[in-house]
């Protein structure tokens, strides 16, 4: 009869302590409180653990004892790949990760499809707090986060959530500065290409009511800044065509820009509410042999590296600082009970994609 091979049972904290002739507390301290042991003793514990195949204390059991998961949950109501594909989201993620590293915390990415109402991922997450990255008002995943008794920081949107910290940028002020710049250049006939205004798919013109009731407040603020800036020059916002694109890609930007120019060939400036959409507009212009900025001015918002390399006139927001600030607000909250809001400044960058309209340039002798 063939005997089954003898299976070696994995080492435990107790068996490691017995092998070393020390207490289980001493072994635990080698991992969790190394300052309590001499360098020599801790080295002996870790080396013996390696030889015996002991993997270290069970993190689940430890979290049950300490009631700390030592991890921050980042809620994204996007596909997971969005965090690594979208340049602004990637910069935010880098900043947040930096804050977690400094605090010795892990980071759990929690993608939640905007088309799926299932919030079990939020309910089951073993984290010590949440950072919610740019979700619509009344999002069910945000509601699930708020139901848990854990500290929470909202990045960007929604704004003014009761009892919750927030970090964002001056979206309205940044766009107001950009609008005034275009007005000073002489532009009055503009078209606007904006990111999605809600979770309902829409790839077409956004009327005044849809703009006013936009569930994604960042876009609402950026459009408001443009409206205020052009109103100062007497431009009737009701006559400004605004095209919305549900997908945030260069391809979507190119299609949206084409729609605007096909329907409104008299436009002299195309204002995009993100750099990604603006890069699509530049691609469309190249495909149609349109000179930028000679025949069409194009602007963006975000200040992402690819846009800066393209010489785009844009509004830069400090995405890495925003992520780092969100992490610091969460991880250094302590016993603070009053919510805190941090609004970071934006900066307009004048590139090579905006100039006076062709008629104004001709009259000025340019």
Q: In whole angstroms, how far apart are CA 145 and each of 22, 70, 93, 133, 200?
A: 43, 17, 19, 12, 22
Could you read off the pLDDT of 91-126 as tens digits, one per residue?
999 999 999 999 999 999 987 776 677 787 888 888
> Comparing 2 with 191, which gets the higher pLDDT?
191
Provide the β-strand partners of residue 344.
169
Mean pLDDT of 318-342: 93
| Average pLDDT of the chain to the nearest whole number | 88
pLDDT at 209 over 80: yes
Domains present along the chain, CATH in parentheses: 1-54 (1.10.260.40), 71-168+319-343 (3.40.50.2300), 171-318+348-363 (3.40.50.2300)
The token pair at 211 is 């703009």
Instruction: For residue 280, give the 3-state DSSP assignment.
Output: helix
Could you read off the pLDDT of 234-246 as tens digits, one per residue?
999 999 999 999 9
Could you read off the pLDDT of 10-61 as tens digits, one per residue?
678 888 899 999 998 898 888 777 888 898 998 998 889 888 877 666 554 5
Q: What global pTM score does this model have? A: 0.79
Q: Under a CB-based contact definition with an 8 Å cutoff, are residues 149 and 142 in contact?
A: no
The token pair at 288 is 């149609």
Judge if the upstream peptide bond of residue 158 is cis by omega within 30 degrees of 0.
Answer: yes
């Amino acid at each position: 009869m063939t005997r089954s091979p003898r299976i070696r049972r994995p080492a435990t904290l107790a068996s490691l302590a017995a092998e070393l002739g020390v207490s289980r507390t001493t072994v635990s301290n080698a991992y969790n409180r190394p300052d309590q042991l001499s360098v020599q003793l801790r080295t002996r514990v870790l080396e013996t653990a390696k030889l015996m195949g002991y993997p270290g204390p069970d993190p689940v059991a430890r979290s049950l004892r300490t009631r700390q998961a030592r991890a921050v949950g980042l809620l994204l109501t996007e596909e997971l790949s969005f965090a690594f594909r979208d340049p602004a989201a990637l910069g935010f993620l880098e900043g947040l990760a930096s804050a977690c590293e400094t605090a010795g915390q892990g980071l759990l990415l929690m993608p939640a499809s905007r088309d799926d109402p299932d919030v079990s991922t939020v309910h089951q997450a073993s984290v010590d707090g949440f950072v919610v990255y740019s979700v619509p008002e009344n999002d069910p995943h945000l509601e699930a986060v708020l139901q848990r008794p854990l500290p929470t920081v909202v990045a960007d949107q929604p704004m003014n959530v009761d009892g919750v910290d927030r970090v964002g940028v001056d979206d309205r002020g940044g766009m107001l500065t950009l609008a005034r710049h275009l007005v000073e250049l002489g532009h009055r006939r503009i078209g606007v290409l904006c990111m999605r205004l809600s979770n309902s798919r829409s790839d077409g013109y956004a009327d005044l009511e849809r703009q006013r009731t936009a569930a994604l407040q960042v876009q609402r603020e950026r459009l408001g800044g443009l409206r205020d800036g052009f109103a100062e020059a007497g431009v009737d916002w009701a006559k400004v065509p605004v095209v919305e694109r549900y997908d945030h890609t260069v391809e979507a930007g190119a299609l949206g820009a084409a729609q605007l120019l096909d329907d409104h060939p008299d436009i002299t400036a195309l204002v995009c509410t993100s750099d990604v959409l603006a890069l699509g507009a530049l691609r469309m212009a190249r495909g149609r042999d349109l000179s930028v900025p000679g025949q069409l001015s194009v602007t963006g918002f975000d200040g992402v590296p690819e846009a800066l390399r393209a010489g785009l006139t844009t509004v830069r927001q400090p995405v890495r600082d925003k992520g780092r600030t969100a992490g610091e607000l969460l991880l250094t909250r302590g016993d603070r009970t009053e919510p805190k809001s941090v609004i970071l400044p934006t900066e307009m960058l004048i590139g090579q994609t905006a100039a006076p309209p062709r008629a104004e340039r001709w009259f000025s002798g340019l």
